Structure 1
Amino acid sequence: MPYPYLKDRVSLYSDRGEVLAEDVPIEAISPLHNPGAQQVKDTLCRTILWNAEEAEYKIKSGHLGDEYIHIPRTPWLAMEDYEIMANIEKIAKRVEELLRTAPDDDTEVQILRGGRYLLVRPPTRLAWCGIEYQTALTNVAYAIEQACVDVCDADWRTYPYIHAAIYGRFPQTPEYDGSSLRWMLKPVIEDENPGYALRNMLINHIAACTRSRTLEAAALCSLLETISVVEMGEMLGPWYRHYLMTMAYQGFNGNDLVRDILKECGQNGTMADVVAYTVERMIDDGVIKEKKTFPSGYKMYESVDEDLRHAYLSSGMLAATIVNCGSARAAQGVMTSIYYFNDQMEMETALPCTGYGVSMGTALASGFFSHTIYGGSAPGLYSGNHVITKTGKVYYMPCYAAAVAIDAGTQTWTPEMTSEFVGDVYSEIDIIREPMEAIAEGALEIKSKFE
């Protein structure tokens, strides 16, 4: 008996309206099957940056751990003689030797920006040898430490200083305070709950990695969110199709729906226009139907396909965010866009909003935190791991990614301030910069499996 794969099919479109994958089974884009999704996850986990210039400064100056710690010079240790950048090629070679597990494995060490940085990817078999995603980081950190000790012929009494310059205050603090390593992920202890690793990523980072291409940023965020709900154990049973449809339509512009809404409402429209057009599309496409007309003329609707309705609703919410924030070229309106789109949609159809109330509650709380308690902070500093935004899984955070991508520099903390180097490096990786294309290629590669 054949396995009961989902029968839904969808066409994936780029942010320019080009067909990337036509009429593919919805299962082919699932993180459980799509090779592109697995490559994105693997790349984010295995790609680690080391700021050699920062590490050298820390060792020579004694400013170790974090900004509050300064160890006075100790001439008898001669740490000012440790030349990290001058020996970066030797250090890079030694790091590769330490990490390599076989002559033909996929270890990669690159020197960047004239020796100021190292990009390190440990071999896959090493990175996934354990059961924690931090295996890549811990091995790279210790490999760099050992390489510095070996190349600089370090006095054994200086080992703790070298450790602190690279690893930060770990294990005194598990958050690697003062580390010269840069990684898209965070230590496990900073994850809000099990399965939150890929949600614990600044929205500014996501925008920077996709070079602020609005729909690509939303797509990358949507993919990471969907992988996360798999990790949480929430993408089972009826929720599997529910989340997959939302990812397909909102995150990856399924059937060009998001762009259709933007083409209709983007130039002169408001959020109310987005609501009206989204309802019109749901009626025309048979997603909802009229249930009752009241004497006043008000119409109440009912859902024909609830998972598809939620996918259309999420797509409309993303489009409303882009229209509203795009008109101001400012990200701060993302919470308002989410809240009032859903509020108007409930009034218009008498059907639940995105997330069945979660989106409106999360938007209200996010706005309160961002605009009052945080004193005018920025949506780009949020992540899906935040105490407020953690509730809106899959459909909520892509709106933040789109808003930050379309922002013209109005945030207190912009991606250029928080994520410049991370963005410069990760945006050179095709599958990170253009996740819409990566998922579409993966879907085409495996679609026959589900037909």
Structure 2
Amino acid sequence: MAAYSETIDLYSDDGKLLKSGVTLDKISPLVNPATSKIIDLTKRTINVNLGGIQNALKTGKLGKGKSKIRGRELDLAIMENKDAIVARIKEMVQVEEGDDTEILEFNNGQLLLVQVPKKRLMNAATYDAAITAVASATTYAIVDQFNIDAFNASTVKAACWGGYPHTMDMEGALVSSILSIPQNNEGIGFALRNVPVNHVVMMTGRNSLQGVALASTLETAGEFEMGAAIGAFERYQLLSYAYQGLNANNMVYDLVKANGETGTVGSVVQSLVERAIEDKVILPGKKGGYFQFYDTKDPMLWNAYVAAGSLAATIVNCGAGRFAQAVSSTLLYFNDLIEHETGLPSCDFGRMMGTAVGFSFFSHSIYGGGGPGIFNGNHVVTRHANGVAIPCVVAACALDAGTQMFTPEGTSKVMGETYGKIDVFNKPMDQIAKGVDLIA
């Protein structure tokens, strides 16, 4: 990748300086070790709801929804035999004794987080290798532990694997991943962008800026994966990631602080334009009657400023109302006002606005298919903005006070109880700043 001389200062979610003078390349998902760890663990960590498997088998509630298969109940003392089952899962999942296989236990062992060894993914075509290995090992460990016969083994398999293979994915499975299956991805490179907003909200404990950092990291890594960060566009992506995702130069924090008490979407526009003029990112150009046009010699840096402003406007507006639903209209009208105020392109050169129009319709308008929290960067509605829309949606849902039909606690509680206990997922801003020091 290119070497960059321009630097940024990284700030925390509470506006404190974490690391100064960081060159742009050191936050790249290809370079920063904390970002690499986020991507690595996203691919090879798998949830096993061991307590849920025990309850599902006892009641015969297998697969998604309210399906209950009477006569197929199995009353197994899984939690009483938890240690033996966990040891057996590890034995089968590991490739070599003492490799990087690890099983973390939460809620007294009712939830497991299995880290599959790197060798399984290195020697596989897709990241499916992680969830299939864990689902099979969990099934086998339970069957083996309780001497389940051939007629009942399929019931154990259904609890672990869900509806697969008569459904394309593992519908209703109690073994799960952050990632969806590759067949559900909208196209090349969308896997890391296929993480629901509510998952990110719960993994970061409803902290809006930490959630933004995690979402932005996954979105940016996805943009790199799909070839959108090659040549001059690498700097374009890194600048947006820095200023919006990692609160570079404390811009997002400053904008929110200046407008948090009495501000509006319009006042955030004013604050952002003033900051851009002060930093000499834009300067007055020609006049057209009463209208003052602005020019910029660095459209990529201007775009990063507008991405940060879009996030700040979201936090100010959705935070004031404690409602997530306003995020789509905020993204639309903040960027519309930016274009009218400056004559310069809005965020992602108009793609943020285009995304917001469709998002308004599909999240809560006459279609009303679901709240913002169940969307992701892979969705046909929200995929178009290059990594800058979903972080704003995460912030809105983190600040939401329960107005959604699908709340983070309702859809993604297990993510907070497992992945949310790991530092790179829970506090990515801090870990990425620390990661800068580890780069040679």
Q: Whole-Å Cα distance in 2 between the matches of residues 90 and 386 of structure 1?
A: 41
Alpha carbons 2:112, 2:418 under 8 Å: kept: no
1:161 maps onto 2:155 in alignment: yes
Q: Secondary structure at the match of 2:170?
A: coil
Following superposition, the deviation at residue 305 of structure 1 comes to 0.7
Q: Whole-Å Cα distance in 2 between the matches of residues 241 and 369 of structure 1?
A: 32
Could you report, residue by residue, the CA deviation over 1:27-69 in whole angstroms, capped at 9, with x for unpaired residues?
Answer: 0000111111110011222221212233233334433333465
Could you report, residue by residue, the CA deviation over 1:58-113 in whole angstroms, capped at 9, with x for unpaired residues?
Answer: 33443333346544416xxxx63533223222111111111222232121223432
Aligned to 2:353: 360
1:201-212 equivalences under 5 Å are: 201-212=195-206
Aligned to 1:33: 31
Q: Secondary structure at the match of 1:6?
A: coil
1:430 maps onto 2:429 in alignment: no
1:121 maps onto 2:115 in alignment: yes
Following superposition, the deviation at residue 166 of structure 1 comes to 0.6
Q: Whole-Å Cα distance in 1 between the matches of residues 297 and 280 of structure 2?
A: 7
Amino acid at match of 2:53: A
TM-score by length of 1: 0.93
Amino acid at match of 2:256: L
Q: Which 10-residue stretch deviates more, 298-307 or 244-253?
A: 298-307
Alpha carbons 1:321, 1:403 under 8 Å: kept: yes
Could you report, residue by residue, the CA deviation over 1:187-210 in whole angstroms, capped at 9, with x for unpaired residues?
Answer: 111111121111111111101111
Q: Any gaps of 5 or more consecutive residues in structure 2? A: none
Aligned to 1:145: 139
Q: Which 10-residue stretch deviates more, 6-15 or 47-56?
A: 47-56
1:276 maps onto 2:270 in alignment: yes
Amino acid at match of 1:325: C
1:18-167 equivalences under 5 Å are: 18-67=16-65, 69-73=67-71, 80-167=74-161
Q: Secondary structure at the match of 1:291?
A: strand
Could you report, residue by residue, the CA deviation over 1:389-411 in whole angstroms, capped at 9, with x for unpaired residues?
Answer: 01112111111011111112222
Amino acid at match of 2:433: A
Q: Secondary structure at the match of 2:127?
A: coil
Q: Whole-Å Cα distance in 1 between the matches of residues 336 and 219 of structure 2?
A: 24
Alpha carbons 1:24, 1:444 under 8 Å: kept: no
Following superposition, the deviation at residue 364 of structure 1 comes to 1.1
> Do the aligned partners of residues 53 and 257 (structure 1) sit closer, same or farther apart at CA in structure 2, a change above 3 Å counting?
same
Aligned to 2:320: 327
Amino acid at match of 1:187: I
Q: Whole-Å Cα distance in 2 between the matches of residues 345 and 372 of structure 1?
A: 24
Amino acid at match of 1:56: Q
Could you report, residue by residue, the CA deviation over 1:330-379 in whole angstroms, capped at 9, with x for unpaired residues?
Answer: 11110111111001100000011111111111111111111234437311
Alpha carbons 2:196, 2:373 under 8 Å: kept: yes
Q: Which 10-residue stretch deviates more, 55-64 or 347-356?
A: 55-64
Amino acid at match of 1:444: D
1:419 maps onto 2:412 in alignment: yes
Q: Which 10-residue stretch deviates more, 111-120 or 256-265?
A: 111-120
Q: Which has the higher helix share?
A: 1
Q: Whole-Å Cα distance in 2 between the matches of residues 38 and 433 of structure 1?
A: 15
Aligned to 1:227: 221
Q: Which 10-residue stretch deviates more, 324-333 or 129-138?
A: 129-138
> Do the aligned partners of residues 327 and 398 (structure 1) sit closer, same or farther apart at CA in structure 2, a change above 3 Å counting?
same
Alpha carbons 2:363, 2:372 under 8 Å: kept: yes
Following superposition, the deviation at residue 129 of structure 1 comes to 2.7
> Do the aligned partners of residues 187 and 286 (structure 1) sit closer, same or farther apart at CA in structure 2, a change above 3 Å counting?
same
1:246 maps onto 2:244 in alignment: no
TM-score by length of 2: 0.96
Alpha carbons 1:49, 1:118 under 8 Å: kept: yes
> Do the aligned partners of residues 416 and 243 (structure 1) sit closer, same or farther apart at CA in structure 2, a change above 3 Å counting?
same
Alpha carbons 2:285, 2:294 under 8 Å: kept: yes
Aligned to 1:344: 337
Alpha carbons 1:61, 1:73 under 8 Å: kept: no
Alpha carbons 2:306, 2:346 under 8 Å: kept: yes
Alpha carbons 2:180, 2:194 under 8 Å: kept: yes
Moved over 4 A (4+): none
Alpha carbons 1:376, 1:412 under 8 Å: kept: no
1:372-387 equivalences under 5 Å are: 372-375=365-368, 377-387=370-380
Q: Secondary structure at the match of 1:156?
A: coil
Alpha carbons 1:66, 1:168 under 8 Å: kept: yes
Alpha carbons 2:60, 2:74 under 8 Å: kept: no
Could you report, residue by residue, the CA deviation over 1:285-338 in whole angstroms, capped at 9, with x for unpaired residues?
Answer: 111111102332x21111121110000010011101111111111111101111
1:218 maps onto 2:212 in alignment: yes
Q: Percent identity over the alignment?
A: 39
Amino acid at match of 2:166: Q
Q: Secondary structure at the match of 2:325?
A: helix
Q: Whole-Å Cα distance in 2 between the matches of residues 174 and 105 of structure 1?
A: 32
Following superposition, the deviation at residue 115 of structure 1 comes to 3.9
Following superposition, the deviation at residue 131 of structure 1 comes to 2.7
How many correspondences in the alignment? 440
Q: Secondary structure at the match of 2:104?
A: strand
Aligned to 1:173: 167
